[in-house]
Amino acid sequence: MAQGCLKCLKYTMCVVNLLCFISGTVVLGFGVYMMRFQMSSLIPSLANFNVANILLISGIIMTCISFLGFLGALKENRCFLLSFFLLLLILMLVELAAACLLLVYEGEINLVVERDLNQSLAELKTQGRNSSMLNDWDLLQNIFDCCGVHNVSDWGDKVPQSCCQKNPCPTQEPIYKTTGCLNNLRSWFEKNFLTTGISVIFICVIEVLGMCFAMTLFCHISRSGLGYKL
């Protein structure tokens, strides 16, 4: 009976890790696709933490750890299972630490974003309309339906087409978006804060279950004297 349960646990781990590996490759591919929409010129201080980079790193980590868990469970390899357990533990601790830092330094992050947006807008005004930074601003203002950092007055007398409520801008009496991008960015993060928190908790639960399964198999293999079988 116990042997049958352990076999079931072994193949469950294989299936789950195979699905995680496939999900990791999808996330990795989506991260490569999102590299087209980077806006690092607008917020250079947080350039390494944009969506594309996060997806790329997450995809690489998911594929590596899930492959290790799949191979360790399939081959009943103690070394792979122990490595899988330790990597999941480190990953969970890093996720919890990142969530705590985000909560503690939320105000400082808001100030950094506001400072970078103001600096990029000032640079754009001095560099002229042909700057590649204008494309990033157009993308930001179209996605978040906003204009400027605080409002349309940030652009002065050179308001881009992306600030118009109707695109293209009418030649007479154009109506501009009145909300600033900084305010819309804050609202977007606040709306998605609960979803992000629930997602982190759900991922941590899955990681704890993965660690429990891996350690159960590891202990069984150690008692059976199978060693580091390949």
pLDDT confidence of 37, banded at 50, 70, 90?
Answer: low
Average pLDDT over residues 29-40: 69
Residue 19 has pLDDT above 50, yes or no: yes
Q: Are 179 and 149 in contact (CB under 8 A)?
A: no
Domain boundaries, the chain: 2-106+207-224, 108-185
Residue 174 has pLDDT above 70, yes or no: yes
Considering the segment(s) 108-185 as one domain, its CATH architecture is: Orthogonal Bundle (1.10)
Q: Quick one: three-class SS letters along the chain?
A: CHHHHHHHHHHHHHHHHHHHHHHHHHHHHHHHHHHHHCCCCCCHHHHHHCHHHHHHHHHHHHHHHHHHHHHHHHHCCHHHHHHHHHHHHHHHHHHHHHHHHHHHCHHHHHHHHHHHHHHHHHHHHHHCCCCCHHHHHHHHHHHCCCCCCCCHHHHCCCCCHHHECCCCCCCCCCCECCCCHHHHHHHHHHHCHHHHHHHHHHHHHHHHHHHHHHHHHHHHHHHHCCCCCC
pLDDT confidence of 230, banded at 50, 70, 90?
Answer: very low
What pTM value is reported for the model?
Answer: 0.72
Please report the pLDDT score of residue 128 as a whole number.
63
* pLDDT single digits (tens) 184-226: 888 888 887 777 778 778 888 888 888 888 888 888 877 775 5
Residue 228 has pLDDT above 50, yes or no: no
Please report the pLDDT score of residue 131 as a whole number.
65
Which residues contact residue 186 at a Cβ distance below 8 angstroms, ignoring those fewer than 6 apart? Answer: 110
Residue 93 has pLDDT above 80, yes or no: yes
Instruction: Considering only residues 147 and 30, tell me which one the structure prediction assigns the higher pLDDT.
Output: 147
What mean pLDDT is reported for the chain? 79
Instruction: Considering only residues 91 and 40, tell me which one the structure prediction assigns the higher pLDDT.
Output: 91
Please report the pLDDT score of residue 48 as a whole number.
55
**Rounded-to-integer distance, Cα 220 and Cα 172, Å:** 78
